Structures are given as C-alpha cells and as structure tokens.
C-alpha cells in the first residue's frame, strides 16, 4: 500500500509539472481531431538510474527511489579517502548538491549505492 501511494504521489507530481509547464498538451489525435488519452506503463523491474548535472563547480544529484530502499551517498578523492557520506532511509526522492568550490585540484568520485547497485560520477577539479 505504501509503495502504491509513493508511486501515485510521484506520478501526480510529475504530471503536474508537465501540465503546468506546457502551453498545450496533446498526446495525438484521431481523424475526428479528438485527443487520445495518455497511457503510462510502469515496469516494476525497470532500473531507474540517478542523474548527475554539473554547473560550474557544483554537482547536482537526483535519484528516484521508488522502493524506498536505503541509499548511501559518498564523495571520495582520487586516493579513495571518503570526503563526505550520508544515508537516506525510505526517501522516495533522493537529491543532493555538492559544492567543489573550495576543493583541492584533483579527481573526485560521487558514489550512490542502493542495495547491490552502485552508480558514480567523476568530478575533475582544476
């Protein structure tokens, strides 16, 4: 029940965002110019990967955690030293911004671990 409620809330948020930013939403029309309904098919086995976006020396991470699993996030330097770590418990939306403005030059790795899946983004600071 909780999972279904979380999925419904996320879909409602996404649909609201799409509708509010669009001037005219159409999913297609038939020969009578009637708009066809939008059908969303969600596959429970689909892997949802996190997104990383870099702007200047900021790195923004977003991850949709529909299962509500524990998600660990950490930042390591090129020697493997852990610079930052945090854990999200039962969060459907996992998001974090990292500021590398004061970081020493080098290669850093932002790592997101969810269950047995691990994702990472390399960040080069000059």
DSSP H/E element including 8:
helix 2-21
Confidence of residue 23 (pLDDT cuts 50, 70, 90): very low
Write the Ramachandran bin of 28: left for phi over 0, alpha for psi from -120 to 50, otherwise beta.
Answer: left
Question: Which domains are assigned to the chain?
Answer: 2-125 (2.60.40.1930)
- Residue for token digits 């509010």? 20
Mean pLDDT of all residues in 21-30: 49
The model carries a pTM of: 0.64
Report d(CA 58, CA 111) in Å as an integer: 15
Report d(CA 103, CA 111) in Å as an integer: 17
Cβ atoms of residues 107 and 63 within 8 Å: no
Query: Is the model's pLDDT at 69 over the cut of 50?
Result: yes
Query: Is the model's pLDDT at 2 over the cut of 70?
Result: no
pLDDT at 104: 95
Cβ atoms of residues 102 and 16 within 8 Å: no
In the chain, what percentage of residues exceed pLDDT 90? 58
Query: Is the model's pLDDT at 84 over the cut of 70?
Result: yes
pLDDT at 4: 53
- Mean pLDDT, the chain, integer: 81
């Amino acid at each position: 029940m909780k999972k279904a409620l979380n999925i419904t809330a996320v879909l409602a948020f996404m649909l609201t965002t799409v509708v509010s930013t669009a001037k005219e939403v159409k999913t297609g029309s038939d020969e009578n110019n009637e708009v066809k309904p939008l059908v969303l098919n969600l596959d429970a086995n689909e892997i949802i990967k996190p997104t990383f976006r870099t702007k200047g020396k900021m790195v923004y991470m977003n991850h949709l955690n529909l299962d509500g699993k524990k998600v660990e996030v950490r930042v390591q330097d090129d020697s493997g030293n852990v610079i930052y770590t945090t854990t999200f418990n039962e969060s459907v939306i996992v998001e974090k911004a990292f500021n590398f403005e004061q970081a020493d030059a080098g290669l850093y790795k932002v790592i997101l671990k969810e269950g047995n899946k691990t994702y990472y983004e390399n960040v080069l600071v000059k």
